[in-house]
Structure 1
Amino acid sequence: MTTSLKIDFVSDIACPWCAVGLGGLEQALENLLGQVDAHISFQPFELNPAMGPEGQDMTEHLTQKYGSTPEQQAQIRETIRARGAEVGFSFKPEGRGRIWNTFDAHRLLHWAGELGLDKQYALKKELLTAYHGRAENVSDAEVLVRACRTVGLDEARAREILGSDEYALAVRENELQWQQAGISSVPAVIVNRQYLISGGQPVAAYEDALRRIASEIAQAN
């Protein structure tokens, strides 16, 4: 019997562990094909909501925020790169160089979600690749429009949204909703608005959790 699951993937484009986590979740769902039928929607979370349009040097930002040294940061970056490779995500080896604001990216993801979960999924993947794989500035309108064009979304409509404050309130409200629900770090995988899987877990951890959740839901029904 196949169990249908609604998954809210709460994350930020700027979060490398979100790219790792999504890859792990995808592989886990592939392994559970025939047992679990998952519908994934992406929910907004900003790691750095006050980040200005000029961005910030990566090393400077991580030192200020976490107190880590450049050497520690390089080690963590290598760990993330290796974890990404395990799930098919390629990080730019030398890192991104700068941190960028992601609010406009979340506005476009909200719009894409209204067009269909498949459209939102494709845009999310492209934005993660643009930011972490190619070190592009995802606060730049041209980068965002190009991402939309790449996944087949209407370029003119994307420009219209970026030139306005459309979806700004919706994104803010969604962010607040998840914060009030207790989400303070990402990725956070919420299954059927009832179960939480925290962090960029290995494939086996996602698989075990989803199998257990699906079994509990099936028994309850």
Structure 2
Amino acid sequence: MTNSKTPLRIDIVSDVVCPWCAVGYGQLAEALKQTNTEHQIHWHPFELNPDTPSEGRNWREHIAKKYGSSREESDASRARITEAGAEVGFEFNFTEETRTYNTFDMHQLLHWADQQGRMHELKQALFMAHFTHAKNLSRRDVLADIAAKIGLDRSEALAILEDQRFAEEVRQAQQHWRQQGIESVPSIIFNQKHLISGAQGVENFKSILRHLAELPE
């Protein structure tokens, strides 16, 4: 049996503008809570749409162009996402003005926050800023404000975004996960061995956690 005192390592490859990443994490968090699983979460960068311009794109138009979705299909998808989020306490507020953004700056801030043990908090704050509060995440001052709200230094956050000092580290991290075969998010890796893709639902995540607890080390 796995040593119950050894925390389960969970690596999550995700993007801030991925709604199912927010949902999937919420489902996993609830499963971890219900199963009382000791764990350590490590977030990793992935850009769903690296060619997105800095000012972003209208989300509905972007989805229609990328997937060929009709308005009815788009509305149905938004309804599914909103319902799934509500089930784990995450609020989505989609409107006709909802936009998707280039997330490279955000991943650099997350890399910096990780050095201070605050990456998880910043990731959650960015999810909420984007999907719940419709903040303009193309603006660096807005990103710096979000960092400051969780206790990070606002002026340092701005400086990092201006000089792009962590750009190469983020690119290398993204390339690493691509080389591991990650092509969609969320991708969740348990104990650096077991890959699960997508938002699986609380009950499925609970089953996965129970199965992992029974595996030999």
| TM-score, reference length from structure 2 | 0.95
Residue 3 of structure 1: how far off its partner (Å): 4.1
Alignment partner for residue 9 of structure 2, among 3, 6, 10? 6
Preserved CA contact (<8 Å) 1:12 1:45: yes
Pairing 1:115–2:116 present: yes
Alignment partner for residue 24 of structure 1, among 24, 27, 44? 27
Residue 2 of structure 1: how far off its partner (Å): 3.9
The equivalences for 1:77-116 within 5 A come to: 77-94=78-95, 97-116=98-117
Instruction: Return closer, same or farther for 1:172/1:25 CA change in 2, 3 Å cut-off.
Output: same
Q: Distance in 2 between matches of 1:108 and 1:200?
A: 25
Residue 95 of structure 1: how far off its partner (Å): 6.4
Residue 135 of structure 1: how far off its partner (Å): 1.4
Residue 205 of structure 1: how far off its partner (Å): 0.9
| Structure 2 portions without partners, runs of 5+ | none
The equivalences for 1:1-221 within 5 A come to: 1-33=4-36, 36-94=37-95, 97-116=98-117, 119-216=118-215, 219-220=216-217
How many residues align? The count is 214
Opposite residue 16 of structure 2, the aligned amino acid is I
Q: Distance in 1 between matches of 2:185 and 2:23?
A: 11
Q: Distance in 1 between matches of 2:56 and 2:138?
A: 9
Preserved CA contact (<8 Å) 1:7 1:40: yes
| TM-score, reference length from structure 1 | 0.93
Residue 94 of structure 1: how far off its partner (Å): 2.7
Preserved CA contact (<8 Å) 1:11 1:43: yes
Preserved CA contact (<8 Å) 2:26 2:90: yes
Q: Distance in 1 between matches of 2:137 and 2:192?
A: 29
1:143-190 CA distances to partner (integer Å, 9 max, x unpaired)? 101110111111111011011111111110000110110110000111
Preserved CA contact (<8 Å) 2:60 2:96: no
SS of 1:190's equivalent in the other structure is: strand
Instruction: Return closer, same or farther for 1:133/1:62 CA change in 2, 3 Å cut-off.
Output: same
Residue 57 of structure 1: how far off its partner (Å): 1.6
Q: Distance in 2 between matches of 1:133 and 1:213?
A: 33
Opposite residue 13 of structure 2, the aligned amino acid is V
Q: Distance in 1 between matches of 2:24 and 2:80?
A: 14
Q: Distance in 2 between matches of 1:153 and 1:96?
A: 29
Q: Distance in 1 between matches of 2:92 and 2:195?
A: 26
Q: Distance in 1 between matches of 2:136 and 2:179?
A: 29
SS of 1:106's equivalent in the other structure is: helix
Percent of pairs with identical residues: 43
Opposite residue 90 of structure 1, the aligned amino acid is E
SS of 2:163's equivalent in the other structure is: coil
SS of 1:158's equivalent in the other structure is: helix
| Structure 1 portions without partners, runs of 5+ | none
Opposite residue 21 of structure 2, the aligned amino acid is C
The 4+ residue runs of structure 1 with deviation greater than 3 A are: none
Residue 6 of structure 1: how far off its partner (Å): 1.1
Q: Distance in 2 between matches of 1:112 and 1:43?
A: 12
